[in-house]
A = this chain, B = another copy of it.
């Protein structure tokens, strides 16, 4: 590779801006100069060998820089990050510059070989891998300490000198994408490959899952409709529906793994080698030696972290869960009180009062959720995880458990303590439908409207600005830097997860839930697409091979739903009528059926292979080839 780097010494004429760097206003001149030099410097001198251009902001400040790279530089970067691309023989292989001719669609003048999302990912990776050499601090900021090997960008971010780095939208591509994605109202699959090219694998996989999940719900919805239309109340029909649901939910989750493997194989991320993860920006500790890399970096004792997790976070979460249950009990008391009040003196005021407890409870839950979210973020960051991934997993787990309780505790209480199936059905419907409508409004439509208003104001201001650059580009940069940041797919998956709970946990009581879920998801696809394309800053692509911890979360939910559905069926009057003499036999039968269903679930999950045969063969072939190559060496 050494000789290829030297090609880069000749400058490239055309500069295509890919990534935006925003520094804090009034950043030291010395720092800017040093940072710029490091970005454009040759690899041999410890630089990133990228291209930089300043942009004027609306106020005339010069604290925004566009970063680009030559085509060759990007290809070499693709090799560094280990991108996997399709070869002429349809197999997927790790891209290397020396073997570039063997790859499909590769031509020295074809600048579309790498998607813009990949180019931006490469630049982000190169910037983050700019490492301090012998600098002891960031020039101009003595308090921002550096040590050999420390990522410069991370230190700039943590010391507030670097405000943000974000990838630029490509207006041409975005237009095409949004046209084929949500431009036409027409029943068709989402353009997953195009989404992936533009937003990267993580987001494309979310939309893929959303679509798959919606299709998977359709059989449940179709079977559920006659229950509502004909008001079926036979226990055997309910049992059939519930059994179908339980086995179906196992099948869809297993099949998703297979589909996921197929899709990510063709995207190349299934084969992509896991890169060594850097410490996350917020991680701190005493300077030591990383046992894996041998590099100097902060280290933090894992035992201390365990203590913080198990002795502080865990009790805190338990306390919060208890508190949330306590609030729920108060809500039920209030509800009872309002009902009593209404019965005593039946006035307009008293019937209005009937709604008050629900409204108060909804508001309180919303407030609790937000406070808890802050607390969870604070605690998880205080736990001082070294890796972003383990930080995310701990945060997701904390938020998940709390949200699960908040959403479902009242339903569990109604079902298994009050035994009120009518109220359960009613609450389920209210919760499901209102939460879905509210979510779509708060998460997409409202921000979309706000963003549109802001854009108009901005454009007006822009007209007065004078610069020698392409005005539309300056305008674009200035607009996008003020857009909200998309914080990842967490909230989107959480929404789907809770929806899955509403559909599966009480499916035998309210078969219509699947219908609403399907309807919601169809519009959700459009509103999420709108959100991604119009409301938020373009996010950096994140290569991923699966939906990670969410797979586990959905599987756990489907196990819990076996238990709840069995109990619900056991409690139904029709089933009770079958065991007139002995409630004991009823309970034992229900327990037996439940265990059988659980056993079948686990066996099915075990038997269905996680990867389709063809993909497994391709993976094996690749492994075999690399073993053979090793032998030839």
Contact = CB atoms under 8 A, between A and B. Distances in A.
A617 B292 contact: yes
A291 B617 contact: yes
A620 interface: yes
A560 to B, nearest CB: 10
B633 A1 contact: yes
Interface in A581-631: 583-584, 587-588, 591, 595, 613, 617, 620-621, 623-624, 627, 631
Contacts of A624: 276, 292-293
A563 B595 contact: yes
Contacts of A302: 613
A292 B631 contact: no
A526 B587 CA distance: 49
Interface in A117-160: none
Nearest to A614: B291
A434 interface: no
Contacts of A293: 621, 624
Nearest to A302: B613
A627 B80 CA distance: 10
A53 interface: no
Contacts of A617: 291-292
Contacts of A613: 302
B587 A621 contact: no
Contacts of A273: 627
A126 to B, nearest CB: 13
A275 interface: yes
Interface string A201-225: 0000000000000000000000000
B587 A275 contact: no
Nearest to A621: B292
A367 to B, nearest CB: 30
A617 B292 CA distance: 6
Nearest to A616: B292
From A276, A563, A617, residue with most partner B Cβ within 10 Å: A276
A563 B291 CA distance: 44
Contacts of A275: 627
Nearest to A619: B292
A9 B303 CA distance: 57
Contacts of A276: 620, 623-624, 627
Contacts of A623: 274, 276
Contact of A587 (B80, B588, B595): B588
From A292, A563, A627, A633, residue with most partner B Cβ within 10 Å: A292
A190 B620 CA distance: 38
Interface string A245-282: 00000000000000000000000000001111000000
A80 B631 contact: yes
A388 B486 CA distance: 50
26 contacts: A1-B633, A80-B631, A273-B627, A274-B623, A275-B627, A276-B620, A276-B623, A276-B624, A276-B627, A291-B617, A291-B621, A292-B617, A292-B620, A292-B621, A292-B624, A293-B621, A293-B624, A302-B613, A563-B595, A583-B584, A584-B584, A584-B587, A587-B587, A587-B588, A587-B591, A591-B591
The 5 nearest A-B residue pairs measured at CB: A292-B621, A292-B620, A587-B587, A291-B617, A276-B624
